[in-house]
Amino acid sequence: MNPTPIIFPLFDNNYFAKAINLSLGYEIGAINYHQFPDEEISANITASLQKREVIFIASLDRPNNKLAALIFAAETARELGATKVGLIAPYLAYMRQDRQFHSGDSVTSKYFAKLISSYFDGLIAIDPHLHRWHSLSDIYTIPTTVIHATNNIADWIKANISNAILIGPDAESSQWVSEIAKIANLPFLILEKVRKGDSLVEISIPQIEKYKNQSPILVDDIISTAATMIKTVGHLKSLDMKPPVCVGVHAIFAGNAYTDLQNAGVEKIITCNTIQHESNGIDLTDIIVKKIDKIFGA
Ligand code: R5P
């Protein structure tokens, strides 16, 4: 019988590794990095990887500081005899640059996909930002599995908020907001957003009057600068709605975004644990456990 894959958490995703180890018995491996005086790094793995499948778990927010470590990990595992090397990215970076927004722009989602596809044999990601790309296979050439946080978010809402109206801040959010609304059997509205700059967005809210006495829940995939949420919170306030609960899948919170959103007049901010953050309140370890065996294809 083949041994189970060995999993390596990178950059603090230990809770996913622990859940997989507890539920499926996969061994957790350790990787050590050494940094030289010139800031180059090298990786070291002592576990025996001969003829074993190896899976790294790495949330790829703030990706530029992580890339060298990630790629050296994958190549070290291969050098040590791993038969396959997979990546679980609870947050998959570089999905938002999915077209040339201005003439001369790079389309980084494509280049990043090419890079990851050349070092890994399979990828699992939770709610990657699929907007103009409809599927990861549009840009990734390895087997990919997308897992959704929708059930877990719907369960949290049902257990914690009564009389809710779900609000998606833009057209992109409609894919998960409508699904969560269906699962939780709640009404939802999708707002119209125009982004005027990295931190500047304008929002309009059709039909909101109808739901004035309900508890608004803003749902988005990524909270980065929080400009999208803050703008929406401001509009709800101007319409005398109750302070909303803000739910995000990926808690990036760049710079002061978390404090800015807290100060915008929200009831609560709650996120999934794809990126470790103090707002994490929705655990997604179970959905990774359920799908990990799909990492190298069906
Ligand atoms: C946009 O396309 C995404 O779905 C989010 O709305 C966006 O990434 C949020 O970014 P920010 O927090 O910077 O407004």
What average pLDDT does the segment 166-194 reach?
90
Calculate how far, in angstroms, residue 52's C-alpha sits from the geometric centre of ligand 1: 39
Closest approach atom of ligand 1 to CA 169: 6
Exposure of 219 in the CB half-sphere (CA atoms within 13 A): 31
- Starting at the edge strand found earlier in the chain, the sheet holding 280-282 runs 188-190, 164-168, 215-223, 245-251, 268-272, 280-282
Calculate how far, in angstroms, residue 229's C-alpha sits from the geometric centre of ligand 1: 8
CA distance 144 to 125: 8
Is residue 220 within 6 Å of ligand 1 at its C-beta? yes
Closest approach atom of ligand 1 to CA 199: 13
- Give the model confidence (pLDDT) of 42-94 as tens digits: 999 999 999 999 999 999 999 999 999 999 999 999 999 999 999 999 999 99
The identity of residue 80, as a single letter, is L
User: Nearest CA to 8 among 37, 50, 46?
Assistant: 46
pLDDT band for 179, please (50, 70, 90 cuts).
Answer: very high
Calculate how far, in angstroms, residue 73's C-alpha sits from the geometric centre of ligand 1: 30
Q: Bin 49: left if φ > 0, else alpha if -120 < ψ < 50, else beta.
A: alpha
The pTM of the whole model exceeds 0.85:
yes
Determine the pLDDT at residue 1: 61
Calculate how far, in angstroms, residue 199's C-alpha sits from the geometric centre of ligand 1: 10
Is residue 214 within 6 Å of ligand 1 at its C-beta? no
> Is the per-residue pLDDT at 12 higher than 80?
no
Handedness of CA 143, 83, 53, 113 (dihedral sign): negative
Determine the pLDDT at residue 288: 97
Say whether 41 sits in a helix, a strand or coil: strand
Closest approach atom of ligand 1 to CA 224: 12
Is residue 226 within 6 Å of ligand 1 at its C-beta? yes
What average pLDDT does the segment 98-110 reach?
95
> Cα–Cα distances in Å, from 247 out to 27, 46, 55, 131, 220?
33, 40, 29, 19, 7
Query: Considering only CA atoms, which residue is closest to atom 8 of ligand 1?
Result: 222
**Average pLDDT taken over every residue of the chain:** 94
DSSP string, 189-216: EE-EEEEEETTEEEEE-TTGGGGTTSEE
Closest approach atom of ligand 1 to CA 223: 12
Query: Considering only CA atoms, which residue is closest to atom 10 of ligand 1?
Result: 224
Closest approach atom of ligand 1 to CA 221: 4
Beta strands 84-89 and 122-126 are parallel
Domains assigned to the chain: 6-148+284-294 (3.40.50.2020), 150-273 (3.40.50.2020)
CA distance 136 to 184: 27
Interaxial angle between packed helices 67-79 and 108-119, expressed in degrees from 0 to 180 and rounded to the nearest 10: 20
- Give the model confidence (pLDDT) of 205-226 as tens digits: 777 778 888 999 999 999 999 9
Calculate how far, in angstroms, residue 226's C-alpha sits from the geometric centre of ligand 1: 7
Determine the pLDDT at residue 22: 97
Q: Is 128 exposed, middle or buried (0-12, 13-18, 19+ CB in 10 A)?
A: buried
Rg (CA), the chain: 20
User: Nearest CA to 218 among 250, 183, 254, 243?
Assistant: 243
Calculate how far, in angstroms, residue 243's C-alpha sits from the geometric centre of ligand 1: 20
Query: Considering only CA atoms, which residue is closest to atom 13 of ligand 1?
Result: 225
Calculate how far, in angstroms, residue 129's C-alpha sits from the geometric centre of ligand 1: 10
DSSP one-letter code for 26:
P
DSSP string, 169-186: SSGGGHHHHHHHHHHHT-
User: Are the C-beta atoms of 60 and 89 separated by less than 8 Å?
Assistant: yes
